[in-house]
């Protein structure tokens, strides 16, 4: 009898060990797969921005996007990841209530010589989790990249991209996208899909840069009226936007904490970054409903294919902060409302002499803000954190988050771009802009046989 019990205990222990190994492999694979999916975002931004540029600037627009991605990776390895774990409670570097923050914790898990920052076989999460965050960082730079095409210096853009991707956005994430973040623990801030900490930060940072960068030559007339400067390939732009949306699924996967690991919140169910429960099923319903609402809303307002596809992205961004909370028809309505407002916001910005070439502020900055406020309006009262007797989401908490994200995005964008402007590193000379950046900056031709506009019906 004792031998049978011992054998049974050994079998149970072996099964548990096998289950743990299987779950560890699944968790590692889950985050690993977010990375190539999110690379689709950058393939999309590449096509989107090259298509939205005139043919004389197509390759220059692509090069700056690729280079920003490459530059952010090492800066995020050496600095950005440490910031995320060091500053959730503010600049005091103190430990938060969940114990996963502060100077001591950041030094243990995120310094470049930490065993968690290398090929340690005992740690099966840090590398892939870090990789997902790197792609979030690169996404902020790509959002910036679209609005400022056709007139920014490459060196100035790289500086701005590094500041945004490796410093600014990750500080926002530490404050509002971390269970120890002061916005979360003190105000109940909720931002499941990073509408504020990625999209709003990047959109407001871009607005600050655009003010100092100035409009493209020929964008505005002497009376202040605006001219439409069309890109050379609307089909390329539309395909790029759809690729961004495909990659968005990886982006949202990276917002999920999978269950069953020592670093997760529990064994029963997926969780948000705050430890509150969510499901991939609910996220799927709401993402697709927001996507559809965004397309329909933008189409009804404009009938323009560019804004339709921007509306698809904008619909998801509008729902992103509460994707774990919405009843699907609400996600549709929130995406629809956001997309309906989006082109009017772009026009409002343009009438103030700001040349946002692809509507980056309207799509990301404004709709990220709308997404945060929508949670405060329609989803207040949910627990903001894992556990009992915790703070709840509220309109006030979301409003405080909006103010913080707007300032944290806009002020660094404006200040750094102003310094670059004063030192002559922000904008290319007028002669180069008129000739085209490809001709003066790129040792290759986008269209070696020549690029011709389609003949008019009269011809």
> What does the DSSP assignment read for 156-173?
HHHHHHHHIIIIIHHHHH
The confidence score (pLDDT) of residue 1 equals: 63
| 300 domain residue, yes or no | yes
The confidence score (pLDDT) of residue 9 equals: 58
The confidence score (pLDDT) of residue 262 equals: 57
- 277 forms bridges with which residues in the sheet? 271
| 446 domain residue, yes or no | no
The confidence score (pLDDT) of residue 258 equals: 84
Q: Quick check: 155 and 425 in contact, CB under 8 A? A: yes
Phi/psi at 427 (5° precision): -125, 145
Q: Quick check: 265 and 386 in contact, CB under 8 A? A: yes
Cα–Cα distance measured from residue 306 to residue 350, given in angstroms and rounded to the nearest whole number: 17
| 11 domain residue, yes or no | no
Residues in the chain with pLDDT < 70?
1-24, 260-267, 450-459
| Structural domain harbouring 356 | 22-270+280-441
Q: Quote the Cα angle for 253-255-259, to 5°.
A: 80
Q: Is the dihedral of CA 264, 269, 273, 276 positive or negative?
A: negative
Q: Quick check: 139 and 251 in contact, CB under 8 A? A: yes
Q: Could you give the dihedral angle defined by the CA atoms of residues 321, 197, 338 and 274, in that order, rounded to the nearest 10 degrees? A: 0
pLDDT in tens, 347-393: 999 999 999 999 999 999 999 999 999 999 999 999 999 888 899 99
CATH of the domain at 135: 1.10.3430.10
Extract the tokens encoding 259: 């269950």
Extract the tokens encoding 274: 């705050």
What is the number of domains present in the chain? Answer: 1
| 4 domain residue, yes or no | no
| 447 domain residue, yes or no | no
Q: If you count DSSP H runs as helices and E runs as strands, how many of each does the chain have, helices first?
A: 18, 0
Helix/strand/coil for 250: helix
Cα–Cα distance measured from residue 31 to residue 131, given in angstroms and rounded to the nearest whole number: 8
Q: Quick check: 290 and 249 in contact, CB under 8 A? A: no
pTM of the model: 0.92
Cα–Cα distance measured from residue 243 to residue 37, given in angstroms and rounded to the nearest whole number: 10
The confidence score (pLDDT) of residue 317 equals: 97
Phi/psi at 397 (5° precision): -60, -40
Residue of 102, 136, 131, 103 whose CA lies nearest to 117: 131
| 453 domain residue, yes or no | no
| 355 domain residue, yes or no | yes
Extract the tokens encoding 34: 């977010």
The confidence score (pLDDT) of residue 204 equals: 98
Cα–Cα distance measured from residue 125 to residue 131, given in angstroms and rounded to the nearest whole number: 10
- 392 forms bridges with which residues in the sheet? 383
Extract the tokens encoding 443: 């040792």
pLDDT in tens, 37-63: 999 999 999 999 999 999 999 999 999
The confidence score (pLDDT) of residue 458 equals: 37
| 244 domain residue, yes or no | yes
The confidence score (pLDDT) of residue 85 equals: 96
The confidence score (pLDDT) of residue 454 equals: 44
Residue 91 Cα distances to 84, 125, 186, angstroms: 12, 27, 15
The confidence score (pLDDT) of residue 138 equals: 94
Extract the tokens encoding 278: 């969510």
């Amino acid at each position: 009898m004792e031998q049978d019990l011992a054998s049974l205990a050994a079998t149970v222990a072996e099964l548990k060990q096998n289950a743990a190994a299987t779950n560890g492999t699944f968790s590692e694979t889950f985050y690993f797969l977010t990375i190539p999916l999110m690379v689709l975002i950058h393939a999309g931004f590449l096509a989107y921005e090259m298509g939205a540029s005139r043919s004389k600037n197509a390759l220059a627009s692509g090069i700056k996007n690729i280079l920003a991605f490459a530059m952010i990776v090492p800066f995020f390895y050496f600095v950005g990841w440490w910031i995320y774990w060091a500053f959730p409670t503010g600049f005091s570097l103190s430990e938060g209530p969940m114990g996963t923050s502060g100077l001591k914790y950041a030094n243990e898990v995120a310094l470049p010589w930490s065993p968690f920052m290398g090929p340690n076989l005992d740690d099966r999460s840090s590398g892939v989790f870090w990789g997902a965050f790197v792609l979030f960082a690169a996404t902020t730079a790509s959002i910036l990249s679209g609005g400022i095409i056709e007139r920014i210096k490459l060196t100035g853009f790289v500086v701005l991209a590094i500041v945004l991707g490796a410093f600014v956005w990750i500080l926002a994430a530490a404050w509002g996208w971390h269970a120890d973040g002061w916005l979360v623990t003190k105000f109940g801030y909720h931002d499941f899909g990073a509408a504020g900490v990625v999209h709003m930060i990047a959109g407001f940072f871009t607005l600050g840069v655009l003010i100092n960068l100035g409009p493209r030559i020929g964008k505005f007339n002497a009376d202040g009226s605006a001219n439409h400067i069309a890109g050379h390939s609307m089909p390329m732009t539309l395909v790029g936007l759809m690729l961004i949306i495909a990659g968005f699924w990886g982006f949202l996967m990276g917002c999920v904490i999978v269950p069953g690991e020592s670093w997760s919140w529990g064994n029963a169910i997926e969780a948000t970054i705050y430890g509150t429960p969510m499901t991939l099923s609910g996220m799927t319903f709401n993402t697709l409903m927001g996507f559809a609402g965004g397309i329909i809303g933008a189409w009804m307002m404009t009938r323009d294919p560019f804004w339709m596809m921007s509306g698809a992205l904008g619909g998801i961004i509008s729902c992103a902060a509460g994707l774990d909370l919405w009843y699907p028809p609400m996600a549709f309505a929130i995406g629809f409302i956001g997309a309906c407002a989006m082109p009017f916001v772009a026009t409002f910005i343009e009438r103030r002499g700001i040349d946002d070439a692809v509507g980056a502020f309207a799509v990301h900055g404004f709709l990220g803000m709308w997404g945060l406020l929508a949670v405060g309006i329609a989803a207040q009262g949910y627990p903001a954190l894992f556990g009992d007797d915790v703070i709840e989401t509220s309109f006030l908490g979301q409003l405080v988050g909006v103010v913080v994200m707007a300032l944290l995005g806009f002020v660094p964008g404006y200040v750094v771009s102003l310094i670059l402007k004063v030192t002559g590193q922000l904008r290319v000379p007028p002669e180069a802009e008129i000739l085209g950046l490809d001709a003066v900056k790129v040792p290759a031709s986008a269209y070696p046989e020549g690029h011709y506009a389609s003949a008019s019906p009269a011809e």
